[in-house]
């Protein structure tokens, strides 16, 4: 298992393709790389079926890849959780799509 990282605008199509290929996978939306910023949490979504991920950029930070909000994708939810815990970053699962380990 590996985490696929999509970190800038040029990755947008690869990111969308990844979600299509891995409908049972998970997308971690990065809101902060700073462990001390407690007002933000990084949010884990299901790769398919979450309206939040496809909401237009101006109203939602879970929008398709931007430099400010990189996406980490994996078919293993635990792998994304481990990545956050290794880096001591705050995270939660999305309230809309409620990802769970398959
Ligand atoms: Zn979601």
* pLDDT of res. 56: 60
pLDDT tens for each residue of 20-44: 999 999 999 998 888 888 788 999 9
Sort strands 42-46 and 91-93 into parallel, antiparallel or unpaired.
Answer: parallel
Burial class of 12 by CB neighbour count within 10 A (0 to 12, 13 to 18, 19+): middle
Q: Could you give the number of structural domains in the chain?
A: 1
- Ligand 1 centroid, distance to 10 Cα (angstroms): 23
98 domain residue, yes or no: no
Is residue 101 assigned to a domain? Answer: no
- Inside any domain, residue 99: no
User: Taking ligand 1, which is a single-atom ion, which protein residues have CB atoms under 5 Å away?
Assistant: 45, 50, 52, 94, 96-97
Side by side, the strands of the sheet bearing 26-29 are: 4-6, 71-74, 26-29, 42-46, 91-93
Count the Cβ atoms, other than its own, within 10 Å of residue 58: 6
Is 16 within the bounds of a domain?
Answer: yes
CA 86 to ligand 1 centroid distance, Å: 22
Neighbours of 18 (CB within 10 A): 19
Which residues constitute the domain of residue 84?
4-93
pLDDT of residue 9: 84
Summary mean pLDDT of the chain: 88
CA of 43 to the centre of ligand 1 (A): 8
Residue 2 CA, ligand 1 centroid: distance in Å:
21
Give 54-76 pLDDT, tens digit per residue: 876 565 566 666 777 899 999 99
pTM over 0.75: yes
């Amino acid at each position: 298992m590996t985490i696929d990282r999509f970190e800038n605008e040029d990755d947008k199509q690869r990111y969308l393709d990844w979600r299509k290929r891995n409908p049972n996978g998970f997308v971690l939306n990065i809101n902060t790389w700073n462990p001390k910023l407690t007002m933000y949490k990084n949010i884990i979504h299901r790769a398919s079926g979450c309206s939040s991920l496809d909401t237009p950029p101006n109203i939602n930070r879970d929008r398709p890849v931007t430099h400010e909000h990189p996406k980490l994708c994996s078919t293993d939810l635990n792998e994304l959780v481990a990545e956050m815990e290794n880096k001591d970053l705050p995270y939660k699962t999305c309230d809309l799509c409620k990802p769970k380990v398959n």
